[in-house]
Amino acid sequence: MPAAAPRLIVSDIDGTFITSAGRVTPRLRSAVVRAVDAGAYFGLATGRPHRWLIPVLEQLPLAPVCVCANGAVVYDPSSDTVLHAFELAPDAMADVVGAVERALDGVPHGYGVERVGSSALDPEDECFLITPEYNPDAWDSRFGVVDTQTLISEPAAKLLVRCAAMTSAQMYELIAPAVDAELAHATYSMDEGLIEFSLPGVNKAAGAQFLAERYGVGASEVIAFGDMPNDIELLTWAGTGVAMANASPVLHDAADMVTLANDEFGVAAVLERWF
């Protein structure tokens, strides 16, 4: 644990910053406010699109700039503005789909895309599109349902592959080696059969670096918190990477330290050492 207080705090949301009930605890909220009052910067880094931040942000008395869609979008909620976006081109997504079709031949699966849009209030069915096979048992009626060719016909922040019969780790083992790393970056942020693709080099660390440069902060002055494989690059890039006790084992290996679980005030317990 560094002696000096961090100048930039970056936290994943689900499984990290919020509890299993989706709440920001008063203890954590107070710790973040004290940190910001002391001069530190604060940001969230999530696999969520910026449209899905409102339930979290409404629990905070501040509006942090957020790294969304696993680093593909940097969003400022104070002005409802997308500050930066990295998007997969249709041709690249078509190549990824071809590789996935070969890797999952005979295994039922579907696709989804997260399009950037311009506002957190953009219609969901225009920004999050899925094929009928994406999640036939429980797909959200707010999503737009289209065929695969329509799905990949426009640039997107993320291309998603869903397979209900496999875990995300099992999918990753099959799919990631089949997709050229120079074509797209593969990761996952949940256990239940979902793989996410973004531009090569685009991950939460890239988004956090955008924040660090915006605030004039070096990587060594950053503390970052996470719990899933899509947080690995963020935790290894930051001067201090902190994994939650409830994190995937690969996060424990990548982190500089492990804190308590998200339901046990893990992020707050670390921040309270300085703030």
DSSP-H helix ranges across 142-203:
148-151, 168-175
Specify the pLDDT at position 243: 98
Dihedrals phi, psi of 257, to nearest 5 degrees: -155, 165
Record the pTM. Answer: 0.85
Question: How confident is the prediction for the chain on average, in pLDDT?
Answer: 94
Specify the pLDDT at position 138: 53
What does the domain layout of the chain look like in residue ranges? 8-85+202-271, 90-198
pLDDT band for 10, please (50, 70, 90 cuts). very high
Q: How far apart are CA 48 and CA 128, in angstroms?
A: 11
**Top CATH class, 8-85+202-271:** alpha beta
Specify the pLDDT at position 3: 80
pLDDT band for 175, please (50, 70, 90 cuts). very high
pLDDT band for 190, please (50, 70, 90 cuts). confident
Q: How far apart are CA 146 and CA 123, in angstroms?
A: 15
Sign of the four-CA dihedral 215, 218, 222, 228:
positive
Contacts for 199 with CB less than 8 Å, ≥ 6 apart? 72, 86, 87, 88, 92, 184, 185
Q: How far apart are CA 135 and CA 122, in angstroms?
A: 22
Distance of CA 214 to the CA centre of its chain: 20
Structure letter (DSSP) for residue 167: -
**pLDDT tens, position by position, 78-111:** 999 999 999 999 999 999 999 999 999 999 999 9
pLDDT band for 271, please (50, 70, 90 cuts). very high
Q: How far apart are CA 97 and CA 179, in angstroms?
A: 9
**pLDDT tens, position by position, 30-82:** 999 999 999 999 999 999 999 999 999 999 999 999 999 999 999 999 999 99
Amino acid type, 228: M
Is residue 1's pLDDT more than 90?
no
Q: How far apart are CA 122 and CA 128, in angstroms?
A: 10
**Top CATH class, 90-198:** alpha beta
